């Protein structure tokens, strides 16, 4: 696992082109958005965009927490569905690209 993390997670960041693309995204969007979420900015807003949440079953402990965090989603969202991919973890599009694409296409057809 450690070698996989090094090869797939850390090593690419040593490439200036990848680091140059990821660093602004992390600093300019991901971190500020995480702060807004932690402060509860969205707590009183209703989620109106039709949304499919896709989670890898191997993404522990997130897959178990999702059920607790998202209890009664109809209280917060107009239309939201959850889908799980059995043989995928956190980087779901890398682990199961075909399954994710199939879920997305099906969702787009149904949500249209």
Specify the long-range contacts of residues 18-25, CB closer than 8 Å, at least 24 apart. Answer: none
Q: Residue 23 has what pLDDT?
A: 83
Q: Residue 27 has what pLDDT?
A: 82
User: Which residues of the chain are under the pLDDT cut of 70?
Assistant: 1-9
> Is the entire prediction scored with pTM above 0.75?
no
pLDDT, tens only, 76-96: 889 999 999 998 988 899 899
Provide the token pair at 37: 């979420």
Give the residue extent of every domain in the chain: 1-45, 46-112
Q: Residue 56 has what pLDDT?
A: 92
């Amino acid at each position: 696992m450690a070698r996989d993390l090094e090869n797939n997670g850390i090593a690419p960041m040593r490439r200036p082109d990848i680091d140059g693309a990821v660093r602004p995204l992390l600093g300019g969007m991901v971190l500020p958005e995480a702060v807004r979420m932690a402060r509860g900015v969205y707590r009183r807003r209703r989620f109106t965009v039709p949304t499919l949440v896709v989670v890898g079953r191997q993404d522990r402990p997130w897959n178990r927490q999702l059920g607790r965090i998202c209890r009664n989603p109809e209280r917060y969202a107009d239309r939201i569905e959850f889908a799980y991919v059995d043989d995928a973890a956190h980087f779901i599009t890398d682990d199961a690209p075909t399954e994710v694409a199939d879920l997305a296409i099906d969702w787009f057809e149904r949500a249209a």
